[in-house]
Amino acid sequence: MMKKDGRVRKKRIRSEKAGRKIKKWKIRKSIKIYTGICMLTLVTALFWQSVWIRTLLAYEILLLPVLRLQAGYLGKNLEVKLSVPVRYTGRNQEFVIKTELKNGSKMPMPAIGVRVCCKNTFTGECTYIEETAMASAGNTAELQFYLTAKHCGMIEVSLENVVVQDYLQLFAVEKKKRNINEEIMVLPNVHQIQTKHISRAMEKQEGNHYSKDKSGEDTSEVFDMREYRAGDTYHRIYWKLSAKIDEFLVKEYSLSEEHKIHLFLDLYIEQNITEKSCIQERMDKFLEILASISWSMQRENWHHSVIWWDEQEHLLREVDVTSEKETYRMLEQVCLSGFYKSSYDIEKLYTEQKRQDKNMYNAYGRYGEHGMLLSTDGSFSYDGVKETDFKAGQLDEDWKQWKLEM
């Protein structure tokens, strides 16, 4: 197996149009050189009446269709695979993108051009990487691109194009793409918040309410009945009903929502903020605050839901968070939703939506009274009262000085 390790440590950000111009310029340069050689041979043949020179000129002309057919043959016999070994990475951490180029022909491939696009779906930032590989007959070449994610968000990795060239690089055949895409989530830095800062929010929740969508471990309320499965404990079996139908039935208990907190997100960015660098820094800070609050609450087993407006789908999103895995899932969905330039009252939209849902508890109307609101400018409010403003560049100090009383 022949491998070529193309390591790209510096991101080259170009537009798609610019990248294609670079590839065309390389091909044009080879064509100009070959045309110059042919013209020189032609002039020599006119002044020197030599059979050898005329034969050489004929070979140079006839070689062009042969090279064109060769490029097409190599392109048809190339298989491309794209992979990102990890699902999550941290901000300012290096990750690798791998491309496998399998040569299924009986001829070596001297020049395989690969162009990979990395797009941050949250900020819209695009990074283009270009590299060339060689693959011997019947073997596989591997390209490895090393990148460092400077900003948080979901990175969508895709093959922009793959080009196979002939031996003289006069012709290039683009390999047809088959929607080869991979994703990697760049997570923000997470800070542990002292739990006493937010513990009083639990004391303000009144009554016992249960989830209508998820089962839990609250034995005071039965969520559903189902058939017995291997591994179920015997104390969950509903013996009386099982005896009547001659089949083991198991109780699924309810998930209590008496300690559920609602964290509303305002993804609004002012119209006057247009520079990408400013937007990216702002969203990095916002995601860092969000991740720290949600992660700290789930660490204490505090059930909370995160609610925001999805501008892409034009609907309210709500994600329940009860574990670290669900915190990551919530961050992914927030990043896919993106920010917006129109202002929305998220708490009001949520309250109106729940009032229209007849299946919801009337107690949901009280959640607006005990809801948290986090905005992209770093402001954090509770019960409609601003508690603090997190400043970019000094989040470490803000965490230490933050005294949130609820």
Cα 14 to Cα 388: distance, rounded to the nearest angstrom: 39
The contacts of residue 284 (CB under 8 Å, 6+ apart) are 91, 151, 152, 188
Tell me which residue range forms the domain holding 244.
Answer: 218-256
Tell whether 335 is covered by a domain. yes
Phi, psi of 58, deg, nearest 5: -65, -40
Task: Tell whether the model's pLDDT for residue 306 goes beyond 90.
Answer: yes
CA 78 vs. chain centroid, Å, equals: 28
Number of domains in the chain: 3
- Across the range 314-332, mean pLDDT stands at 88
Tell whether 360 is covered by a domain. yes
Q: Are residues 154 and 173 in the same domain?
A: yes
Cα 183 to Cα 125: distance, rounded to the nearest angstrom: 15
The per-residue pLDDT for 398 is 62
Q: Are residues 309 and 227 in the same domain?
A: no
pLDDT digits (tens, 9 = 90+) for 205-238: 444 555 555 565 555 566 667 777 776 666 667 6
Determine which helix (DSSP H) or strand (DSSP E) holds 88, and give its type and residue range: strand 88-90
Residue type, 78: L
Tell me the whole-structure pTM to 2 decimals.
Answer: 0.66
Q: Are residues 286 and 159 in the same domain?
A: no
Q: Are residues 272 and 226 in the same domain?
A: no
CATH of the domain at 160: 2.60.40.10
156-184 in b/e form (b: 16+ CB < 10 A) is: bbbbbbbbbbbbbbbbbbebeeeeeebeb
Q: Are residues 246 and 262 in the same domain?
A: no
Tell whether 406 is covered by a domain. no
Tell whether 10 is covered by a domain. no
Tell whether 296 is covered by a domain. yes
Q: Are residues 284 and 250 in the same domain?
A: no
Tell whether 1 is covered by a domain. no
Tell whether 9 is covered by a domain. no
Q: Are residues 44 and 173 in the same domain?
A: yes
Q: Are residues 182 and 43 in the same domain?
A: yes
Q: Are residues 226 and 274 in the same domain?
A: no
pLDDT digits (tens, 9 = 90+) for 106-155: 899 988 889 899 988 877 778 888 888 888 998 999 888 888 888 888 89
Nearest Cα to Cα of residue 319 among 309, 336, 339, 333: 333
pLDDT digits (tens, 9 = 90+) for 69-83: 988 899 899 999 999
Q: Are residues 75 and 162 in the same domain?
A: yes
Q: Are residues 83 and 224 in the same domain?
A: no
Model confidence band, residue 301 (pLDDT cutoffs 50, 70, 90): confident
Lowest mean pLDDT among 68-82, 196-210, 341-355, 367-381: 196-210
Tell whether 148 is covered by a domain. yes
Q: Are residues 248 and 316 in the same domain?
A: no
